[in-house]
Amino acid sequence: MREFQGEFEVPSHFLVNASTTRRPDAVSSDYLTSFSMGPVAIGDVSEGPIAYPWRARVDYDEGLNKSDIYLARANAGNTDWEAETLLTTIFDRIDEMDLGFEQAARAVVCVEIGLRVFLYWFDPFAADFVFTDFDAGRTPRVILDDPLNVADSDILFFYISDTDDTVKYRLQRERYQIAADVPITDIQNKFLEDVFRTQDNRVAISYSVRNIVTGRYSLDRLESTLYPFYADDKFIALMDLVSGTLQTVLIIHDLFDKEKLELLLDVLITSTLISVILEHFLFDRDTYDIELDVSTASTLIVVILEHLLFDKDTFTAGLDVLTTSTLLVIILEHFLFDKDKFTASMDVLTTSTLEAA
């Protein structure tokens, strides 16, 4: 049994891809290796910015005091790594590193060196890669925030700033010149571990919190608001769910200046449905129609339709819950402004168990 740092750092025992020094009181990940989704090849945007997993690795030469950063892409079967290529060499000892890819399939790497944070990035003004010292700080992390919308996405560069004891982020579109605060406070015993995209289209920060009395760590996270979905002038969505077990259906639209939006959602027979949530923030729409049908023999826990509507000529919503359903909650909530016509109907039909509506 090994518990304390000295018990791990003995000739008869060694750690692979882990560290006993980067986080006090902890055996932690190897912060000189990082993974990120990326393109099919460096500079190749033909398959988009998140086609394959990539790995970055730091190889430090103590005699020459240089850190080589190598990249490797996963092979076609995602079972192994292709041959490594040298991305860049930094003539210093890197303490932590994180990898990302920008919209044009170029690598972006942030590093911590001697309690300062640096970024290796492509500067369009210089038309070349640069290595920039940005701040006194630690635990830098990068992410492409909206890879499926490259025309309006950014590399986000996060770190804990020792200049004013806050968590900061910088935007690619601002050439990383402006540091904005992230609402994570009391950072003396906190460490950024990862930034990632969640399944519901948010950017999340995972950070560890050290209890200096017990020496133990806990994980916490902070999430952004939902990134918007921008449709064309006519947006039609159709979703059918048949004979399955479904945990959550979440449909969120942040729509501006659309002439017509139609949404049809059918949840069909013999399904167990935990949540149906439809949330809409709508501005300047001439026509908006929604219809939600929950059909026979289904167990339905929650249905929520929430609308925040501005300047609409016509709004129509229909909700039908059909035969032999067990229905616990239905919520229709609307915040309506400047509406010429608003119509909503809800039918709960035969042999249903209804607790709240």
14 domain-assigned = no
Q: Which of 197, 223, 249 is the last residue of a domain?
A: 223
Task: Tell me, yes or no, whether 3 lies in a domain.
Answer: no
Q: What is the pLDDT of residue 227?
A: 77
Check whether residue 76 and residue 147 sit in a common domain: yes
Residue 281 is assigned to a structural domain of this protein: yes
Query: What pLDDT, on the 0 to 100 scale, is given for residue 19?
Result: 83
Give the residue, 168 or 13, on which the prediction is more confident: 168
Q: Which residues of 145-162 are buried (b: 16+ CB within 10 A; e: fewer)?
A: bbbeeeeebbbbbbbbbb
CATH number of the structural domain spanning residue 107: 2.120.10.10
- My answer on whether 307 and 176 are in the same domain is no
> Where a domain ends, among 167, 202, 223?
223
Q: What is the mean pLDDT of the chain?
A: 80
pLDDT(269) > 50: no
Domain membership flag for residue 229 = no
Say if residue 260's pLDDT is above 90: no
Provide the pLDDT for residue 143.
Answer: 96
**108 confidence band (pLDDT: 50, 70, 90):** very high
Q: Would residue 17 count as lying in a domain?
A: no
Residue 23 lies in a domain: no
- Write out the residue range of the structural domain in which residue 245 sits: 234-356
CA-nearest of 251, 260, 318, 316 to 284 is: 260
For residues 134 and 205, state if they share a domain: yes
- With a cut of 60, say whether residue 268 has pLDDT above it: no
Give yes or no: residues 134 and 268 share one domain: no
Indicate whether 78 pLDDT > 90: no
Residues 47 and 183 in one domain: yes
Two tokens, residue 186:
């009391």
CB 145 within 8 A of CB 120: no
Q: Are residues 219 and 286 in the same domain?
A: no
- Using one digit for the tens of pLDDT, what is the confidence trace for 47-69? 988 999 999 999 999 999 999 99
Higher pLDDT pick, 349 / 319: 319
- 241: pLDDT strictly greater than 60: no
- Residue given tokens 């013999």 in the structure block: 270
| pLDDT tens profile 285-311 | 566 666 666 655 556 656 666 666 666
- Residues 133 and 263 both lie in one domain: no
The answer to the question of residue 113 being in a domain is yes
239 and 217 in a common domain: no
pLDDT digits 0-9 by tens, 312-321: 677 676 666 6
Note whether 146 and 46 are same-domain residues. yes
Report the candidate in 51, 55, 171 with the shortest Cα–Cα distance to residue 105. 51
The count of structural domains within the chain is 2
Pair (54, 107) in one structural domain: yes
Count of residues for the chain? Answer: 357
Domain boundary among 165, 195, 223: 223
**Are 252 and 216 in the same domain?**
no
Task: State the average pLDDT over residues 112-134.
Answer: 96
- Residue 145: per-residue pLDDT: 92
- Whether residues 96 and 54 share a domain: the answer is yes
| Terminal Cα-to-Cα distance of the chain (whole angstroms) | 57
> Confidence band (pLDDT; 50, 70, 90) for 18?
confident
